[in-house]
Amino acid sequence: MRVGLIAAAVLTGAVLAGNGEAVAQGGGKATFDEIEVQRINVVEPDGKPRMVLSNKDRSPGAVVNGVDLGNAGTRPGMTFYNGEGDEAGGLGTDNGVNGGKPWAVGQLSFDQYKQDQTLVLRYMEQEGVRGVGLAVDDRPETPLPESFEEYRKIEQMPPGPERDQAMAAYRKKYPSPQRVFIGKNPDKSSAVTLADGKGAPRIVMRVDQDGNPRIQFLNAAGKVTRTIKG
């Protein structure tokens, strides 16, 4: 049994079989061998979203505190929501060609409450250079919608020193340093990096592609103060 593009029907509670006959209605249960849709919304009884599975064109924008932060129609995959209807993370993959050279990305992420992603499992590839890993990021205490308008205004500024200074000031006001990275780097080394509250790496454990291990300790300025080799 195959049903084509029936997401809207699923959401209204009327699911049609391939011959057009209603098989489930008003909260009933239906069983299918295969369903083909562009988007499925999973909602609570009060209508609050909890999960959306969609293609790229019908993907939802990021919403926090009822504020649409954009990106609708750009993120194929699965979007998670918390009990307040705020985006809380997602799962997605995408790929394409830029300047005749392929790129690909896959990501599973979870967001800090009222903020952006704080735990990310990501694979990225561009021009044959690959990186994959698990990252833990700090996020500001300020709810994302309160800082987003400032960010949007800076993004709309013409390129140049004034825009660069404004963006640097924004990032200082709303820091989001990466604290932990565990994964494989583009140079094919595997690494564990532990950073301080400003995002400066302080301990780096690394094994290069030839199997040479080392542990480095760094100061706040990024200078290596001690190295232990295996």
Please state the pTM of the whole predicted model. Answer: 0.81
| pLDDT, position 11 | 40
| pLDDT, position 226 | 97
| pLDDT, position 55 | 95
Domain boundaries, the chain: 177-230
| pLDDT tens figures, 111-168 | 999 999 999 999 999 988 999 999 999 999 999 988 988 998 999 999 999 999 999 9
Burial grade of 208 (CB within 10 A; 0-12, 13-18, 19 or more): middle
Angstrom distances, CA of residue 220 to CA of 139, 140, 199, 209: 20, 21, 9, 27
| Residue numbers in the chain where pLDDT is lower than 50 | 1-22
| pLDDT, position 111 | 96
Match 């494989």 to its residue by tokens: 184
Dihedral sign, CA of 33, 95, 60, 85? positive
Q: 192 is written with which tokens?
A: 């564990």
| pLDDT, position 71 | 83
Q: Which amino acid is at 7?
A: A
- Smallest CA-to-CA distance from 187 within 215, 206, 213 is with 206
| pLDDT, position 25 | 56
Q: 156 is written with which tokens?
A: 């709309």
- Smallest CA-to-CA distance from 52 within 94, 92, 109, 9 is with 92
